[in-house]
Amino acid sequence: MSKTVLFVLCLINKGITENVNKPNVLLIFVDDLRHLSTDEVILPNIKKMADTGVNFKNAFAQQALCAPSRNSILTGRRPDALHLYDFYSYWRDTVGNFMTLPQYFKEHGYDTYSVGKVFHPGKSSNFTDDYPYSWSHHPYHAPTEIYKDAAVCKNMITKKYQKNLICPVNVNNQPGKSLPDLQILDYAIKVLKNNRTKPLFLAVGFHKPHIPLKFPKHYLDKIPLNKIHQPKVPYRPKDMPLVAWNPWTDIRSREDIRRLNISFPFGTMPSKWTLKIRQSYYAAALYVDHLIGKLMLHVDTRKTVIVLTSDHGWSLGENGLWAKYSNFDVALKSPLLFLGSGIPRKVIHEPVELINIFPTLVDLANLARIPQCTNTKDKSLCIQGKSLEPFIYQNITSRSFAISQYPRPSVYPQKNSDKPRLKKIKIMGYSIRTKRYRYTEWISFNNTLFTINWNKKHGIELYDHKLDPYESINLRTNKHYKNVINYLSKLLKTQIDTFKVETH
Ligand SMILES: *[C@@H]1O[C@H](CO)[C@@H](O)[C@H](O)[C@H]1NC(C)=O
Ligand SMILES: *[C@@H]1O[C@H](CO)[C@@H](O)[C@H](O)[C@H]1NC(C)=O
Ligand SMILES: *[C@@H]1O[C@H](CO)[C@@H](O)[C@H](O)[C@H]1NC(C)=O
Ligand SMILES: *[C@@H]1O[C@H](CO)[C@@H](O)[C@H](O)[C@H]1NC(C)=O
Ligand SMILES: *[C@@H]1O[C@H](CO)[C@@H](O)[C@H](O)[C@H]1NC(C)=O
């Protein structure tokens, strides 16, 4: 054998060995799935995954809105670095050509697939789901996704089809005789069954339990209405600044809810409907859980790193609120699980952020580390998140915290308070969650310069989770907490101004 042939063989062998050492990666996104406790509903498949891997019980989104949260997760940079707080800008064309998580894997020899809702579709991913930068193949979208907002929910009394919030369906009667998540599951299984020479990075994004709460109706039978509880604190928090309130405009405008004539912006959901919405949300979550169970049957967990998360949480009547669009704990807290290939079993209670997923997966797949960004405007190849590997493989006891934010157009809640467009944003609410406290400052924001003014405050909130896990009493004027407030205010300001992420 000539030297050249041998050399080439060695290279090929090296390639193969490298690929053998590279685990496959499965990233599962569940849209709008809040962190559900087992006394609300048991999701058997997700529970099984949580019990076999690392379960982060206090993981928080950067912003409780799909596009900013997903772009943050997938670039490892906070909304302020992407200048994205709504749905209408694409970072590569507006701020910088930042690397994404799937792109990094693609550039390191992975075959990368997007199936379902991974990037938020539309302008914020340039109407391409960031293809071809992030993906080796054209992103897959379910054909029945075009009916996502169709009037297909039967009104039991009038027998008419409506655009309801609560929408249990008979799948065979649906247009296309299927539902997007069923088609997404089928496609994802096909990808898993493909023969390949490269390691796989597969991102699968399920649409439910995002509204409308549309799911095969037999899931309702598993969650009888008489087993559903009212939220522990169904009223507005005491001394809450008005700017903190999200008026859940999208919920009010669904046909079944609109009929209830709930006054805007502070009217509350009738308690019977609170139970019905909770029931359907749990049923929709159970439906997706079932699909995830089916997906997992096709995954070799010994050779795959699996992460399951959501883009943010969801209020189910807590504090009188619904949906996302706020800085409250329930709207920000997301499931976050890592399991598979050599990952131990444990539960972590330290607060962490979803921008940490990117560097964590880089570590778990043994790819070359990406440095942490050094300042707010760092445009080099860097990540603002921090790897969670020390939590996963060591026993970390030091304190950590999570930063989130939410924009508002005004102090008093108005129709666009849930989803203000950049041009209308005048206030930014920055929030820090430590193990014990949630502390939030709502301050003036300049939407052309992207600057903030800490001296112009429109609201301050402090909730003590040790005494008040449902955030029902704002303690900001309570003199016993004066030192806590001073401390958290300084910490928050430093974090936002410097973008330094917590050191363990
Ligand atoms: C985004 O899409 C527009 C319109 O198709 C295109 O001109 C632009 O180059 C795209 N941006 C990037 C970074 O590819
Ligand atoms: C994958 O390879 C196996 C063994 O060569 C073959 O039996 C199978 O049909 C292939 N599957 C696909 C989807 O090509
Ligand atoms: C809501 O308002 C409409 C029009 O004013 C009225 O016909 C309807 O009965 C009201 N519904 C409820 C539930 O109060
Ligand atoms: C972490 O703690 C667990 C339980 O106390 C122990 O079994 C394990 O060996 C520890 N791991 C490390 C890396 O210290
Ligand atoms: C933002 O700053 C610019 C420049 O100082 C100023 O012209 C503009 O009015 C400011 N916008 C707001 C909303 O304050």
- Do 286 and 43 form a contact (C-beta atoms < 8 A)? yes
CA-nearest residue for atom 5, ligand 2, is 195
What residues flank ligand 3, with Cβ below 6 Å? 259-261
45, 486, 494 from 491: Cα distances, Å: 38, 9, 5
C-beta 397 within 6 A of ligand 4: no
Residue 238: phi and psi, rounded to 5, are -60, 130
In Å, what is the CA distance from 352 to each residue of 18, 177, 360, 365, 454?
Answer: 31, 41, 12, 20, 24
Dist. CA 83–CA 118, nearest whole Å: 20
Q: Which of 89, 93, 100 to mutate to test the pocket of ligand 1 (most atoms within 8 A of CB)?
A: 93
Which ligand 3 atom sits closest to the C-alpha of 260? 13
Residue 83 buriedness (CB in 10 A; 0-12 / 13-18 / 19+): middle
Q: Is 93 in the pocket of ligand 1 (CB under 6 A)?
A: yes
Q: Is 97 in the pocket of ligand 1 (CB under 6 A)?
A: no
The residue nearest atom 13 of ligand 1, judged by CA position, is 92
- What is the 267 CA–ligand 3 centroid distance (Å)? 15
- Taking the C-alpha atoms of residue 205 and residue 115, their distance in angstroms, rounded to an integer, is 6
319 residue type, one letter: N
Q: What dihedral angle (degrees, nearest 10) is formed by the CA atoms of 433, 435, 437, 438?
A: 20
Determine the pLDDT at residue 20.
57
From 486, 497, 500, 384, select the one nearest 439 (Cα to Cα). Answer: 486
Q: Which ligand 1 atom sits closest to the C-alpha of 97?
A: 13
What is d(CA 188, CA 284) in angstroms, rounded to the nearest whole number? 20
Ligand 5 contact via 449 beta carbon (within 6 Å): yes
List, in order, residues 6 or more apart from 218 with CB less than 8 Å away.
Answer: none
Beta strands in 303-368 (DSSP E): 304-310, 315-316, 322-323, 333-340, 346-348, 352-353
Q: How many angstroms separate the CA atoms of 135 and 123, rounded?
A: 17
Q: What's 140's DSSP letter?
A: B
Q: Which atom, in ligand 1's list, is nearest to the CA of 133?
A: 14
Task: Find the 59 Cα to ligand 4 centroid distance in Å.
Answer: 22
Q: What's residue 137's pLDDT?
A: 98
Distance 106 CA to ligand 1 centre (A): 20
Tokens of 326: 């706020």
Q: Which positions are catalytic?
A: 66, 120
Q: List the residue whose alpha carbon is closest to atom 7 of ligand 3.
A: 259
* 92 ligand 1 Cβ < 6 A: yes
Q: Which of 193, 182, 208 is nearest to 43 (CA)?
A: 208
**Bridge partners, residue 406, by sequence:** 429
Cis peptide before 409 (omega within 30 of 0): no
Q: Flag residues of the chain having pLDDT under 70.
A: 1-20, 398, 500-504
d(CA 228, CA 30): 22
How far, in whole angstroms, is CA 471 from its chain's centroid?
21
Ligand 4 atom closest to Cα of residue 393: 13
pLDDT in tens, 471-497: 999 999 999 999 999 999 999 999 999
Residue-wise DSSP of 362-429: HHHTTPPPPPBP-STT--SS-BSS---HHHHHS---S---EEEEEEES-SS--TTSSS--GGG--EEE
pLDDT given at position 407: 98
